[in-house]
Amino acid sequence: GAVVSQHPSWVICKSGTSVKIECRSLDFQATTMFWYRQFPKQSLMLMATSNEGSKATYEQGVEKDKFLINHASLTLSTLTVTSAHPEDSSFYICSARAVEDTQYFGPGTRLTVL
Amino acid sequence: SQELEQSPQSLIVQEGKNLTINCTSSKTLYGLYWYKQKYGEGLIFLMMLQKGGEEKSHEKITAKLDEKKQQSSLHITASQPSHAGIYLCGAISGGGADGLTFGKGTHLIIQP
């Protein structure tokens, strides 16, 4: 099946700093990628839809100025958490949509903000 | 917005037994996805169902979508320890967006 990678797999940062997470589709091109967030023992919540070459679409309640998304190529989308605070600590997972509409997920990035 | 209800929330099954997990939607499903997740890891794609009455199988896992496209079931035959994990159903959110709305998951434990 299709492979999606994320980098880093985990990151610890100080409050107030920014953190960038990369999502790559390794063996297919994805015009659309998605970013989800998962809190402990909860399900995934869609944060935003990342479209190659255009602005991301954010879900209600997700601050676009705090969670910057860039989809610069057909295989790479980045999520930057700006001015991170402890409440932003979470498991961030991306997915990439393949031609057949199946969404393949990355392994996730665990963010801990101190 | 679409809501997905999964049942049961958790399930403990003896190795070798069969089991079924259900996913019910408040609205018609236009695409229903089943994934498996180990805690703290990414999601492994299992199956996608789109047509009413559709059924797909992969190894010992079978997923069905009912004719009304509001309910799906995931059935595992002769369960093995490797089947343990969290099973999530997801569906297109709707409203023009393609992101998935997920159920809360079913935590499956296989007892040897």
Using one digit for the tens of pLDDT, what is the confidence trace for B9-55?
A: 999 999 999 999 999 998 888 889 999 998 888 999 999 998 899 99
Is residue B94 scored above 70 in pLDDT?
no
- A4's CB contacts (< 8 A; 6+ apart) are A23, A24, A25, A26, A94, A95, A96, A104, A105, A106, B42
List Cβ neighbours of B4 (8 Å cut-off, separation of 6 or more): B23, B24, B25, B89, B90, B91, B101, B102, B103
Amino acid at B85: G
Confidence of residue B63 (pLDDT cuts 50, 70, 90): very high
Banded pLDDT at A66 (limits 50, 70, 90):
very high
Contact between A43 and B88 using a beta-carbon 8 Å cutoff: yes
* A110 vs B: CB within 8 A: yes
- Give the mean model confidence (pLDDT) for residues A24-35: 92
Q: Which residue has the higher pLDDT, B106 or B98?
A: B106
Give SS3 for B64: strand
**Cis bond upstream, residue A107 (ω within 30):** no
Position A98 confidence tier, pLDDT thresholds 50, 70, 90: confident
Strand boundaries in chain A, DSSP class E: 4-7, 10-13, 19-25, 32-38, 44-51, 57-58, 67-73, 76-81, 90-97, 103-105, 109-113
Residue type, A114: L
The answer, for A16 touching chain B at a CB cutoff of 8 Å, is no
Indicate yes or no: CB of A91 within 8 angstroms of CB of B88.
no
| Contact of A38 with A45, CB cutoff 8 Å | yes
pLDDT at residue B8, as a whole number: 97
Report whether A101 contacts A3 (CB < 8 A). no
The interface residues of chain A toward chain B in range 70-89, judged by CB-CB distance below 8 A, are: none
Nearest CA-CA distance, residue A16 and chain B, Å:
25
Query: Which residues 6+ apart lie within 8 Å of A61 measured at CB?
Result: none
Confidence band for A1, pLDDT divided at 50, 70 and 90: low
Predicted pLDDT at B3 = 86
